Amino acid sequence: MAKERLTNEHLNHPFAPLIDENCTVLILGSFPSRQSRAVDFYYGHPQNRFWKIMSALIDEEIPDDVNVKRELLLKHHIALWDIIHECTITGSSDSSIKDVVPNDIKALIDHSSIRHIYCNGQTSGKLYKRYALKKTGIEATILPSSSPANARFSLARLIEEWGQMIDLS
């Protein structure tokens, strides 16, 4: 079977932030993967460890459906969004991202109870610092990426690192 050849695509972020008036924590990714875009929700790649990490940290079952994922995070006052509104990307590779137009993180948090911002991975962290930090005035904590491309971190180590850094209160 021939491997699919990926090309650069200029894309807009396909879905809205997950947030309500009770959220105090915002977790920012970079841009949805191809699999996330296909299921129309965050961290949709079956090998991404985000949902396993979150489930361990909040002591809940790993959600298996988008509605349950939404409910689980909102129940624990956790919002999700991505730093990128629009970009050119090849497949799902953060290293290929260029022509970035950021999301308006300040507008999102201005109408919320967000007190803590966490970036899922270095790309999200760098872009947050470049485009949003001065506007929001909230220093973000950069967490190790939950992506399957982050092979340096086992699931157990990700849970440990996220658990030491993230304040879900």
Given this model, what pLDDT does residue 4 score? Answer: 60
Given this model, what pLDDT does residue 92 score? Answer: 85
Please provide the average confidence, as pLDDT, over all residues in the chain: 94
Chain segment 50-85, per-residue pLDDT in tens: 999 999 999 999 999 999 999 999 999 999 999 999
Torsional class of 58: left (φ above 0), alpha (ψ -120 to 50), beta (otherwise) = alpha
Length of the chain: 169
Domain ranges of the chain: 32-165
Strand 25-29 and strand 84-90: pairing?
unpaired
- Which residues lie across from 28 on neighbouring strands? 81, 119
Report the share of the chain in percent with pLDDT over 70. 96
Catalytic sites, residue numbers: 48
pLDDT at 2 over 80: no
Quickly list DSSP for 9-71.
EEEE--S--B--TT--EEEEESS--HHHHHHTSTT-STT--HHHHHHHHHT-PPP-SHHHHHH
CATH of domain 32-165: 3.40.470.10
Chain segment 3-58, per-residue pLDDT in tens: 567 788 899 999 999 999 999 999 999 999 999 999 999 999 999 999 999 999 99
